Amino acid sequence: MSGLHPPKPFPEAARDKVSQPQLRANLRKVTHTIREKRLRAVGEVPHWEELRVLGEATKDATLANLSDRLLQLEASVKARGGQVHWARDAAEARELVARIAESHGVDELIKVKSITSDEIELNAGLAERGIHAIETDLAELIVQLSHDTPSHILVPAIHRNRAEIQALFNRELPGEGNLSDAPAELAGAARRYLRHKFLTTKMAVSGVNFAVAETGTVCVVESEGNGRMCLTLPEVLVSVMGIEKVLERWEDLAVFMELLPRSSTAERMNPYTSFWSGVTPGDGPQEFHLILLDNGRTDVLADATGRQTLRCIRCSACLNVCPVYERTGGHAYGSVYPGPIGAILTPQLLGMADKNANTLPGASSLCGACFDACPVRINIPQVLIYLRGEANEEKGVTAEALAMGAVGYAMSSGWRFEGALKLARAGQGPLVRGGEITALPGLLGGWTQSRDLKAVPPQSFREWWRQREGADG
């Protein structure tokens, strides 16, 4: 996986993953556990559906005036001593972070878990400039030490089990080598390693969950406390924010402080919620930079159907209820945004001309569970169907399109439809086994790879009806 860009079409990547029983066992256990906990947490709130509607309306109101809100945010951050930078794409964002680090003579920095920084491939970009970025979230640290990539928005190392982590920490962490697989012992080893980094590193990089335009306040929510260390101890703090994360008013945060924790970690509130506004002399980082990242978001905003995708608050609830994600895992999507939300966000950010990304809208059964779980009511099935249409247009004239056109022509007339049925009945003979067609030839073989097809019956409904009417007469 490399940032946003899937290296393979989804069907090809998925075939590799579904054949790994340990991966599927890990995914099933974790997604089912989080799903059940979320249902209990949501069930405690009698006005949950009203909160979802309010969250949807709040995000839509901001997106409708996004340029004004961003300019207001820029002015508010600057008024409080911060610096604001605009990045059109991933390359500009990486360059900005690298220049800030180089201006302070930094060759090592610490990071709060940030999927936006993964989107722009920040770690690799900094490494090319001789700057080492250290992940401080436990799961992200596991992914980094194993030279792996995240497979879940909330739980990046969901595909790893304790035995794998034990072996990894014994091999990679300085001073370790005799750790058991006890979770407390593994967490203690990570804590020892990271505490030294927290206390000695000059610069930190974070993502942004929300930013308030009227006050210039930036918000990061997390569960481990590593974020609080990164946001308060270093001298320099750089936050990379997707432009859709802005809210207009301070009170707008209230609804998301209820929606996000229950939808993501199934908690009533986030263990660590950090807010800061610019720079405060003598308290926390004395230099703050906010990078506002576009990277395809304005193209998504311009699409009347697709723009609802920008409501996403990165809770990962849709991943945990998705039957496709549960069986393939995040790596099959080939992007830092996996699951149902990734299936609509990645192709829109990259453009439907991307031949691998435009296969992602097909990574769904369209069961609708993702819409029911989404705390801001993104109609993911609607966008998936829309993007499938866009992908088909991008492909142009294909054998599939010609075949569907022929089927449409046959079914548009009663006599043509009956004629087609008679031809199919006559031609199916060699393919029928026990009343079913288990293998179709050529391009049609994709249908019977995972399902059987009932044979065309000896008598159609129309023929039966005519026979019945004749007998009654």
- Matching residue, tokens 């009343």: 435
The separation between the first and the last C-alpha atoms of the chain, rounded to the nearest angstrom, is 68
CA proximity to 158, closest of 310, 345, 313, 339:
339
- Matching residue, tokens 């309306």: 57
pLDDT tops 90 at residue 348:
yes
What residue ranges do the domains of the chain occupy? 10-298, 399-470
Which phi and psi (to 5°) does residue 431 adopt? -95, -15
Q: 320-344: per-residue pLDDT in tens?
A: 999 999 999 999 999 999 999 999 9
Pick from 174-178, 185-189, 305-309: least confident:
174-178
Mean pLDDT of 343-349: 98
What pLDDT is stored for residue 23 in this prediction? 84
Average pLDDT of the chain is 93
Pick from 175-184, 214-223, 255-264: least confident:
175-184
CA proximity to 87, closest of 102, 70, 101:
70
Mean pLDDT of 28-33: 90
Residue 10: other Cβ atoms inside 10 A:
23
Burial (Cβ within 10 Å: 0-12, 13-18, ≥19) of residue 386: middle
Q: Is 278 left (phi over 0), alpha (psi -120 to 50) or beta?
A: left
Per the model's pLDDT, the better-predicted residue between 27 and 106 turns out to be: 106
How far apart, in whole angstroms, are the C-alpha atoms of residue 45 and residue 56? 17
pLDDT tops 80 at residue 176:
yes
How far apart, in whole angstroms, are the C-alpha atoms of residue 366 and residue 181? 39
What confidence tier does 132 reach under pLDDT thresholds 50, 70, 90?
A: very high
Q: 87-122: per-residue pLDDT in tens?
A: 999 999 999 999 999 999 999 999 999 999 999 999
Instruction: For the chain, give the number of residues.
Output: 473
How far apart, in whole angstroms, are the C-alpha atoms of residue 111 and residue 226? 9
Pick from 100-104, 284-288, 449-453: least confident:
449-453
Please check whether residue 265 is in contact with residue 223, taking contact to mean a CB–CB distance below 8 angstroms: yes
Q: 38-58: per-residue pLDDT in tens?
A: 999 999 999 999 999 999 999
Residue 462 corresponds to which tokens in the numbers above? 């129309």
Q: 397-417: per-residue pLDDT in tens?
A: 777 778 788 889 888 988 898
What pLDDT is stored for residue 443 in this prediction? 72
Per the model's pLDDT, the better-predicted residue between 35 and 471 turns out to be: 35
Q: Strands 210-212, 203-206: parallel, antiparallel or unpaired by DSSP?
A: unpaired
CATH class in words for 10-298: alpha beta
How far apart, in whole angstroms, are the C-alpha atoms of residue 318 and residue 376? 11
Mean pLDDT of 49-78: 98
What pLDDT is stored for residue 1 in this prediction? 44
Task: Please list the residues that pair with 241 across neighbouring strands.
Answer: 292
Mean pLDDT of 413-431: 86
Mean pLDDT of 20-33: 87
What confidence tier does 472 reach under pLDDT thresholds 50, 70, 90?
A: low
Q: Is 398 left (phi over 0), alpha (psi -120 to 50) or beta?
A: beta
Residue type, 400: E
- Matching residue, tokens 């974790």: 30
Mean pLDDT of 16-41: 90
Please check whether residue 179 is in contact with residue 169, taking contact to mean a CB–CB distance below 8 angstroms: yes
How far apart, in whole angstroms, are the C-alpha atoms of residue 260 and residue 203? 28
How far apart, in whole angstroms, are the C-alpha atoms of residue 300 and residue 337? 15
